[in-house]
Amino acid sequence: MRAGLLLLLLASPAVAAPPPGASSCSGCHGAPGGAVPSLSGHSAEDIAASLAAFRTGARPATVMNRIAKGFSEEESRAIAVWLAGGGP
Ligand code: HEC
């Protein structure tokens, strides 16, 4: 019974749904031919590290420093994992 429940949870479509905030990234990063760098091909570690650097101010930015401050470490990581798995 417990194993069946676990399988049900793993197969749930909610697993593939973007974590809070992740769908907002594509407004800028998914735009073709835009000036914003694409995130496709970036690893989750890459994206999470960039977000952390933007958040602390270690990496200068025009908008990402402000966007990154809106997410906690855990939220940033969840977004990074999701984006690396097929987001924009
Ligand atoms: C308003 C437009 C905008 C939105 C929304 C946005 N970004 Fe960005 N992003 C930028 C710009 C512009 C840069 C280049 C750095 C800068 O000037 O801020 C950038 C840079 C980055 C980089 C570094 C890319 C590289 O090549 O090094 C990462 C990672 C990133 N953004 C992740 C995200 C994530 C994750 C989200 C969603 C939570 C997001 N961005 C939402 C505009 C945006």
Cα angle: 45, vertex 65, 17; to 5 degrees: 50
Mean pLDDT of successive 10-residue stretches along the chain, which has 88 residues? 49 66 89 85 96 97 97 96 79
Environment class of 52 (CB within 10 Å of its CB; exposed 0-12, middle 13-18, buried 19+):
middle
Please answer whether residues 25 and 87 qualify as being in contact, where contact means their C-beta atoms are separated by less than 8 angstroms. yes
**pLDDT at residue 52, rounded to an integer:** 98
* Pocket around ligand 1 at a 6 A CB cut-off: 21, 24-25, 27-29, 36-37, 39, 47, 50-51, 61-64, 67, 79, 83
Ligand 1 mutation pick, 63, 77, 79, max ligand atoms within 8 A of CB: 63
